[in-house]
Structure 1
Amino acid sequence: MGFALAPRTVHAEAPETAQSKKPIYDEPAPLPTSGTLPPPPPTEQLPPAEEPTKPRGPTPTERLAVQIGKARLGLYQYAVGAEDAVNRTMDRAFNLEQSFTSTIASLAPPRESGEKLMPGAIYVLVAAMAGSIITRNRSVILRATAPLALGITAGWTVLPITMGNVSNLAWKYEQRFPVIAQGHLQIRQSIEDSLRAAKIHSQIGVRYVDEKVTDARETVEDWVKKGK
C-alpha cells in the first residue's frame, strides 16, 4: 500500500521588526497648564448681617377678630349672668312657695283632735262682726280693738289648737325683732296677771255669795223652826 506525497505551501509569520522597550529613566512630568491647574479652594463667605426688622402691627382683619372675640365673650358672660339671676329668682320663688305651703299646713289641727276649721272660722268671723256692730257708736280705739278682742276670744274658744299654732308661728316671727318680742311678753304677762286676778276675785265672789246664801238659808231654816 503506498502513499502519495504531494507538496504543500507552508506560511510562517515574520518576526516583529521593532520591539517595544521600556525606557531606563522616567519621563519628565508635563508642566501644568491653565487647563490642568486645580481650581482654588472656595473661600468662606460670611452671611450678610441681618437688618433689624421693624415690629409688624396687627392687620385690620386681626383687629376685627379680636373685637369680635371680646364681643362674644361679653355676650356669653351677660347670658350666663342672666341665666344665674333667673335660676336664683326661681329658687327663691320655689322656696317661698314651699315655706308658705308648709306654714299653712302646720296651722291646721291634726285629724285626731276632731277640731274643724270651717265652722270654727265662721264663728270667729261672726264674733268679730258682732264686736264691730256693738262698738259702732263708740270711740275709734274701742271700735278698732273690740272686734279683734272678740274674734281672738272666739278663736281660742272654738279653735284652741289652731289658735295655739297661730300663736306659736307669730312668736317665731316676733323673735326676729327683740323689741317686739319683749313687748309681746310684757303684754302677755300683764294679760295673764289680769286673768289670774280676775279668776281669784271671781272665786272670792263665788265663795262670798255661797257663804251669804248658806247664811240666809240657815237663817230662814231657823225662822221656820222657831215658827213651828
Structure 2
Amino acid sequence: MFSPVLKRSLTAAAATAAVVSSLSRPTIVYAEEQKRSKLSIYDPPQPKVIVVESPTKLEEHVAYAQQQANKTLEEGKTHVNTLYEQCKQFEKDVRALVKETVAPDEEVLPNALYVGVAALAGTIIARNRNIVLRFLTSTALAAGTSFYLLPKTTHNVGVQLEKLERKYPELQNAHRVADEAVDGVRKEIDQVLAQLRGTVNANIEQLQQSADKLKGQVTGAESKNKFEEVKKSVESMYSTRSNPGVEETLKKNN
C-alpha cells in the first residue's frame, strides 16, 4: 500500500522520536547497584563447618571447684601476708617498748631473777593462808625487791602501765576494781588484826590478874611458912613450948 519511500520516511521518523524521548528522560542510577558478574564455570565454595564442643557437667563442676580453690588460696595468701606484717609491726613495737622501759645503766637479767625469787618466797611464806593473802604477799615482796634492785626500770614500767590504761579504758576500770578489792581486803585484815589485838590484850590482862592472884597466894603461903619458922625458933628459946604468949607477940610485931 505504502511506497518504499514513505516506509523509509516513517521508519526514520519513529527512530528519531525514540532517540529524542530517550535523551529527554533522566536516567536513574542506584548507589548499591552492583554490576552483574559473569557466571562462574566452577561450583560455589562450600561453607566451612565449625564444630563447637560444649563442656560436660563434670567439666563444669571441676572448673568451678578449681576457680573457688584458686580464689580461696589467694585470700589465704592475703591473710598470711597481713598477719606477717602485723607480727613484724608488733615486734618493732615490743622492741621500742623494751628500749624505752629498761634503763641502760641497770642489769636486768640477775635482778629480774631475784625479783622472781622474792615473789616465790612470798607464796612460800603465806602458804597456809588463803589465795588473796598469798597473792598480796607475793606481789608486795616482788614490788619491793624490784624497787630496790631496779628503781628506774620499775618506774618506767609504771609509766608504761599508765599509758596503757589511758589507751585502753577497760584496763583502767580493771585496775580500779582491783584497787577497790585490795582496799576491801586491807580493811578486813585491819579489822581482824584489831580483833586479835583486843583478844590478845584481854588474854594478857587475864593472865596478869591470874599472875597477881597467884603471886599473892604464893606470898601469903611464904609469909605463913616464915611465921611458923620464927614461931618455932622463938618457942625453942623457952622451956614451955605451949606458951600462948609467943604467938600473940609475933602477930603484934608483924
TM-score (norm: length of structure 1)? 0.45
Q: Which has a greater percent of helix?
A: 2
Higher relative contact order (CA 8 A, sep 6+): 1
TM-score (norm: length of structure 2)? 0.41
